[in-house]
Structure 1
Amino acid sequence: MPSFDTVSEANLVEVKNANDQANKEITTRFDFKGSDARIELKERDLTAYADSEFQLGQVRDVLTSKLVKRNVDVRFLDIGKIEKIGGDKVKQVIKIKNGIESEAAKKIVRIVKDSKMKVQASIQGDAVRITGAKRDDLQAAMAMLRKEVADLPLEFNNFRD
């Protein structure tokens, strides 16, 4: 029976490349000369450091522009609170979301069931599997999910025919 998985995962290789490019731009920019502005990547967490909250905003802007250029959706970013560290320096933890949370997965299943399409949706861990009798039904379900679920960056993979 044809099926596909609906997932929400950031490409970590592109995130790492965007982080490297952002750090390179930060070190060469004139307005960051002599400051401790940088971005560190540890597994799924980005930590932005700067001398002031204004500079921290600039560092975030540089990072988001590099992510967008590398086709990484900024909806994957979960921006934390600004924390003060020693003196005037500040830091901010930015988490990279992975997987579909249970509430969002239930919403996707409800949307598929309410559409009256000839497909079924089931939650498989942090993904939602959509199965149907025909490939055309699955493609229509993909188009409908792209339109209906705008708050999550959805990807469709593991398509089986």
Structure 2
Amino acid sequence: MASESSFDVVSRLDRQEVDNAVNQCAKEISQRYDFRGVDASVSLDGDVITLEATSPERVLAILDVLESRLFRRGVSLKALDLGDREPRPQGRLYRLVCPLREGLSQEVAKQVTKAVRDQGPKGVKATIQGDEVRVSSKSRDSLQAVITLLKELDVDAALQFVNYR
């Protein structure tokens, strides 16, 4: 009898890459001509990135710089929880708070397991384990097909595939 092979579907962030992207964004903001004379800043505090400027347009420009830096460093933009993407006034400054999302929410985990059940090959099982989904099968080829299926799936999280054994 063949043993079961499995892998885990997770959503994790590389904190060092996020920190580097925020630092690069802050450096670019301090050097760019269109941000001169504008109190513009970007900061990372735990799991929250805060963007501040004197106008909503400048805050969205900072967000554009931050997104490009995150993308270049290989961090998925789905990790940012932007909400309605509208900067809020805070005194004389406008602020946009972007919490970082890590881990699979219950809705995303259910979407993943439903996709594996409905569209995946026969004999593949998907179970939710906290903020991860474990996919197992006797056939490694079936697991490869599930990984391909999940890469094409449009969910509201950055998916990674770990612990393939």
Same fold (TM over 0.5): yes
Which of 5, 12, 16 is the aligned partner of 2:19? 16
Partner of 1:96: 100
Which structure 2 residues correspond to residues 1-161 of structure 1 after superposition, within 5 A? 1-80=4-83, 81-87=86-92, 89-115=93-119, 117=121, 118-160=123-165
Does the residue aligned with 2:74 lie in a helix, a strand or coil?
A: coil
Q: Tell me, which stretches of 5 or more residues in structure 1 are unaligned?
A: none
Are the aligned partners of 2:38 and 2:53 in contact in 1 as well (CA < 8 Å)? yes
Q: Tell me, which stretches of 5 or more residues in structure 2 are unaligned?
A: none
Which runs of at least 4 in structure 1 moved beyond 4 Å after TM superposition?
none
Output the amino acid matched with 2:110.
K
1:115-138 per-residue CA deviation (whole Å, 9 max, x = no partner) reads: 252210000100100011021111
| Equivalent residues, number | 159
Output the amino acid matched with 1:149.
D
- More deviation, 73-82/55-64: 73-82
Output the amino acid matched with 1:122.
T
Distance in structure 1 (CA, Å) of the matches to 2:162 and 2:10: 7
Query: Do the aligned partners of residues 38 and 5 (structure 1) sit closer, same or farther apart at CA in structure 2, a change above 3 Å counting?
Result: same
Query: Do the aligned partners of residues 116 and 65 (structure 1) sit closer, same or farther apart at CA in structure 2, a change above 3 Å counting?
Result: closer
Does the residue aligned with 1:78 lie in a helix, a strand or coil?
A: coil
Does the residue aligned with 1:159 lie in a helix, a strand or coil?
A: coil
Deviation of 1:110 after TM superposition, in Å, equals: 1.1
Question: Which structure: greater strand fraction?
Answer: 1
Deviation of 1:106 after TM superposition, in Å, equals: 0.9
Output the amino acid matched with 2:113.
V
Query: Do the aligned partners of residues 116 and 12 (structure 1) sit closer, same or farther apart at CA in structure 2, a change above 3 Å counting?
Result: closer
